[in-house]
Amino acid sequence: MALEIERKFLVTSDTWRSQATRSEVYQQGYLNDLNTCSVRVRIAGERAYLNIKSARLGIMRQEYEYAIPLQDAKEMLGDLCIGSIVEKTRFFVPFGGQIWEVDVFSGDNAGLIVAEVELESEDATFALPPWAGREVSDDPRYYNVNLVTHPYKDW
């Protein structure tokens, strides 16, 4: 079974920007209502993926991801997704032996900046960067699947 274990934090300053090693623009949408799982299509640069993630809240969830043709992803985003498309730029920032992913949202979620770190286990220790603020791992408002129907601009 494929598992994703990640912790999510609000970002409190821009000091991470000078440490980012690369970035990638994402567009993603969801193909189903959230019952037992979410089914997401994502375009990351010139690559595209179909992702299935269990609907369980918390830091550990089942996750499966498959590469798909870019044109198929564009068509799915345009024709099949519920709610709005989530647009963000993901920056990759090394800190404390981990690669943190800092998502700067645009579109309906402009102003929201969230940092995530993937872990090997639920109880893994990690260094918290000085620009990482309040943890929101258990707050469903910050899940991308919820941002399509309840965007940040409406909070």
The tally of domains found in the chain comes to 1
Q: What is the rounded CA–CA span in Å between residue 64 and residue 78?
A: 22
Structural domain that includes position 50? 3-154
Cβ partners under 8 Å of residue 113, min gap 6: 10, 11, 102, 103, 104, 105
- Would you state the pLDDT for residue 93? 98
* 1 has a pLDDT exceeding 70: no
Give the chain as a 3 state SS string.
Answer: CCEEEEEEEEECCCCCHHHCCEEEEEEEEECCCCCCEEEEEEEECCEEEEEEEECCCCCEEEEEEEEECHHHHHHHHHHCCEEEEEEEEEEEEEECCEEEEEEEEEHHHCCCEEEEEECCCCCCCCCCCCCEEEECCCCHHHCHHHHCCCCHHHC
49 catalytic? Reply is no
Q: Model-level pTM?
A: 0.90
CATH number of the domain residue 42 falls in: 2.40.320.10
pLDDT digits (tens, 9 = 90+) for 90-146: 999 999 999 999 999 999 999 999 999 999 999 999 999 999 999 999 999 999 989
Closest Cα partner for 115 from 21, 4, 7, 23?
A: 7
Of 30, 49, 64, 143, the active-site residue reads 30
* 56 has a pLDDT exceeding 80: no
The mean pLDDT of 14-42, rounded to a whole number, is 92
pLDDT band at 29 (very low <50, low <70, confident <90, very high): very high
